Amino acid sequence: MSTPTSEKKALRHHYRALRRGLTAQQQQSASDALLTHVATYLDKVNPSVVSGYLANDGEIDIAPILALCWQRDITTVLPIVDPNNTRQLVFARYDSSTQLRDNTYGIPEPVFNQNGLVPLADISHILLPLVAFNLHGHRLGMGGGYYDTTLSSNPHTAKLIGVAHDIQLCEDIPIEPWDVPLAGIFTPSGFSSF
Ligand SMILES: Nc1nc2c(c(=O)[nH]1)N(C=O)[C@@H](CNc1ccc(C(=O)N[C@@H](CCC(=O)O)C(=O)O)cc1)CN2
Ligand SMILES: Nc1ncnc2c1ncn2[C@@H]1O[C@H](COP(=O)(O)OP(=O)(O)OP(=O)(O)O)[C@@H](O)[C@H]1O
């Protein structure tokens, strides 16, 4: 029987393969185009603390965006998969001197250090890596439930903004009760807010 969970699994497989299939040149131009949209947005909203990610598995590379934040004195943080607490993320300060190590999924993340942690409540904007998205603010992530669980079980005021390649647009994303909606999405073709 097809369930939202099994449908999500099949969609994840499809959209992860699509983004991994982009050439290095397509990835580079996607990242360049994204930077121009985000730079305009940063000028407008002047965020205090931005959460990002380090691209993996064909995700669009936002390293230039994080570097731009540093130039503008905007604090940047990265998620850390909490090894002691299933499905929870914590957030650690990230700058050019941050020591990284690979997490359990092979994604680089800051070495856990109590002093470097930034409370979720202090984050103004979270750039969420997506596997697929629709234009109503629904998203499909990697399936760990990390962002959904963290954002639904801890108080926060962060604006949730997805980041994806245009080819990750999918109008039939199954919606489950715990899915936390996005306020907007950046793709190389622009910014949409919902
Ligand atoms: N770059 C990046 N960083 C991120 C995320 C992300 O999606 N992208 N996350 C967003 O949540 C968190 C990590 N969540 C992840 C959840 C599952 C898998 C993953 O590869 N799952 C395997 C199955 C692993 C297993 O259970 O054995 C797979 O689907 O193949 C990766 C990251 C935090 N950091
Ligand atoms: N708020 C929550 N409370 C309890 N379980 C949850 C919650 N959110 C997600 N889960 C669990 O996590 C699993 C993965 O959720 P889902 O398929 O929505 O992941 P995702 O949105 O792709 O992942 P992510 O949030 O990491 O980007 C679900 O099967 C569900 O069991």
* Spatial separation of the C-alpha atoms in residues 168 and 30, rounded to whole Å: 13
Is 180 a pocket residue for ligand 2 (Cβ < 6 Å)?
A: no
Closest C-alpha to ligand 2, atom 17 = 143
Domain that holds residue 168: 4-193
Q: What is the pLDDT of residue 146?
A: 96
Closest C-alpha to ligand 1, atom 11 = 146
Q: Which of 149, 152, 161 to mutate to test the pocket of ligand 2 (most atoms within 8 A of CB)?
A: 149
The CATH number covering residue 168 comes to 3.40.50.10420
The total domain count for the chain is 1
* 50, pLDDT greater than 90: yes
129, 128, 127, 131: which is closest to 173 by C-alpha?
131
* 178, pLDDT greater than 90: no
Average pLDDT value for residue range 86-115 = 94
In the chain, % of residues over pLDDT 70: 99
